[in-house]
Amino acid sequence: MPAWTTPDPVALHAATQPDRIACVDLASGRRWTYSRLDEAIQRAAAVLESGYGIGPGQRIATVARNSADLLILQQAAMRLGAVFVPVNWRLAAPEQQAILADCDPALLLHDAAFEMVPPKDCMTVKVADFAAAVEAQAPAPRRPLPPADQPSIILYTSGTSGRPKGVIITEANAFATAVNFGLLGRVGNASVFLCDAPMFHVIGLITSLRPPLLQGGTVLISPGFEAAVTNRRLADPELGVTHYFCVPQMAKMLRDDAAFSPASWTTLTAIFTGGAPNPAADILWWLEQGVRMVDGFGMTEAGTVLGMPVEAGQIARKAGSAGLPAPSLSLRMVDEDGHDAAAGEAGEIWLSGPNVTPGYWNRPDETAQAFTSDGWFRTGDIARRDEDGFVTLVDRRKDMFISGGENVYPAEVEMALLDHPDIAEAAVIGIADERWGEVGRAFVVLKSGRALDPASLAAHCAARIARYKVPKEFLPIEALPRTASGKIQKHILRGWR
């Protein structure tokens, strides 16, 4: 059977609705209709092929902030069968160097002073110079698109365990995520997405761009997140933002900013959150402001996995849940004995479907470990499914610890701590204990003007969770170490005393 050809919604919409606005680069004010965007992608393909000698399978890396030029670059690479590798520009030079050595790019685009030695035989180009070359280049001739099941993007994981891995994403994977999020998030032809999440992350590069482009909507690309600027954009009727995706820490910064005015967000369908736990109390608070906060669960390896319905009543009734499984995937909850967990019981999420990665770049052993013998992807995330099918995340399997023979999931403890009026942020890890084997150590960020009261925190937790789950230590900390996507780096906390 012939391989499925890579889908190309931009080319389709260029033919069916050529004058509709497809993309706006908010920093420069440049705008592209679908016709102009399609042509720009063909110009970029010509620059890559004839100007830089890029062919199928070769990697194109970037170390750059968000811009429409990166979208054009990625789409051009897709049409050529090259592989797009956006690298986190916030990483230190040695960290970036390790990623570049792993993916071995033929071309590297950057937008700032470049202080490292590029990989051998790798050409380096400024993003601005690439954009100028695209403007001056004639479009490449149309060619058959590559198969949809070959590597198209490599996204390096955030490194919560300290060692980033390159997740292979095919165009079939990206298309499935566009469909999954599109159906869960009510994405349509009139949708306008604001993208200020970093495009080296799955939220920025895939979830914030692919669903609207699939449907013929509009993407507004910002170089990055600034709470005051985002607040103004969400309230701007001329922009007409309908969908905004962020992590909970970004949502908190929005509400703490002086420009916060949710009553002015008249075009917004919802704020969609993922990447980190979102307490039920916060979700309900947003509902009281008239904003639907739609929580979900996704991962670099599988795109959109779970999502709440976009109905205020359902959100209120199931606040704290990550929602229902996306339509194109199969999901199992598997207990420690390898059996499907009953409703209400904790189990590891296993996935199968067109959204799931084929594996990790240059990591055959880790790829094999991630999949069962019959093809299920082991996510490492523990969750419970209720009688209605709604899934609530419990924790990462690797973060669980055993205290007195009982499993303790730190995320449950963290949620209890976040209900305390003195606590702004919390992270819990397991530490060795002579009596119980392991006990909890909580790192807490106190709200301004509050003092640490361990006894109060312990009593607060004991009223909400089992006593064996209550941390034995509470340590104040100014800020939790996080990745660029907002995930807590617990491997760093484990090294602290």
Q: Where are the domains of the chain?
A: 9-391, 400-493
Alpha helix (H) ranges present in 275-341?
A: 280-288, 312-317
Angle, vertex CA 218, rays to CA 184 and CA 233, nearest 5: 95
Residue bearing the bigger pLDDT, 389 or 404: 389
CB-CB contact of 8 with 152 (8 Å)? no
pLDDT interval class at 186 (50, 70, 90): very high
Q: What is the DSSP letter of 299?
A: E
Question: 271 is written with which tokens?
Answer: 């704020």
Arithmetic mean of pLDDT, 35-45:
98
Which pLDDT belongs to residue 485?
63
The answer on pLDDT for 436 being more than 90 is no
- Map residue 84 onto helix, strand or coil: strand
Which pLDDT belongs to residue 94?
80
Percent above pLDDT 90 for the chain: 76
Q: What is the homologous superfamily of the domain 9-391 according to CATH? A: ANL, N-terminal domain (3.40.50.12780)
CB-CB contact of 191 with 266 (8 Å)? no
The answer on pLDDT for 124 being more than 90 is yes
Which pLDDT belongs to residue 291?
97
For residue range 446-457, what is the model confidence (pLDDT) as tens digits? 998 899 999 999
Which pLDDT belongs to residue 238?
97
The answer on pLDDT for 83 being more than 90 is yes
Which pLDDT belongs to residue 90?
82
396 φ/ψ angles, rounded to the nearest 5 degrees: -75, 140
Arithmetic mean of pLDDT, 366-383:
93
Which pLDDT belongs to residue 164?
80
Arithmetic mean of pLDDT, 6-25:
97
State the pTM of this model. 0.84
Which pLDDT belongs to residue 160?
47
pLDDT interval class at 52 (50, 70, 90): very high
Which pLDDT belongs to residue 261?
95
The answer on pLDDT for 27 being more than 80 is yes
**Of 96-100, 270-274, 295-299, 401-405, the least confident:** 401-405
Which pLDDT belongs to residue 114?
72
pLDDT interval class at 2 (50, 70, 90): low
The answer on pLDDT for 435 being more than 90 is no
Please state, in angstroms and rounded to a whole number, the distance separating the CA atoms of residues 274 and 192.
Answer: 19
Arithmetic mean of pLDDT, 439-465:
92
**Of 89-93, 179-183, 341-345, 428-432, the least confident:** 89-93
Which pLDDT belongs to residue 409?
76
- State the burial class of residue 85 (Cβ atoms within 10 Å of its Cβ: 0-12, 13-18, 19+): buried
* H or E element, residue 401: strand 401-403
Please state, in angstroms and rounded to a whole number, the distance separating the CA atoms of residues 422 and 33.
Answer: 49
- Map residue 123 onto helix, strand or coil: strand
**Average pLDDT across the chain, whole number:** 92
* Most distant pair of Cα atoms in the chain: their distance: 73
Which pLDDT belongs to residue 290?
96
Which pLDDT belongs to residue 73?
98
pLDDT interval class at 158 (50, 70, 90): low
Arithmetic mean of pLDDT, 69-87:
98
Residue bearing the bigger pLDDT, 15 or 89: 15
Establish whether domains 9-391 and 400-493 are of one fold: no
The answer on pLDDT for 38 being more than 60 is yes
Which pLDDT belongs to residue 28?
97
Residue 298 C-alpha from the chain's centroid: 7
Please state, in angstroms and rounded to a whole number, the distance separating the CA atoms of residues 310 and 325.
Answer: 14
Residue bearing the bigger pLDDT, 251 or 112: 251
Arithmetic mean of pLDDT, 270-275:
90
Please state, in angstroms and rounded to a whole number, the distance separating the CA atoms of residues 26 and 178.
Answer: 23
As beta bridge partners, residue 488 has 482
Q: Which CATH class is domain 400-493?
A: alpha beta
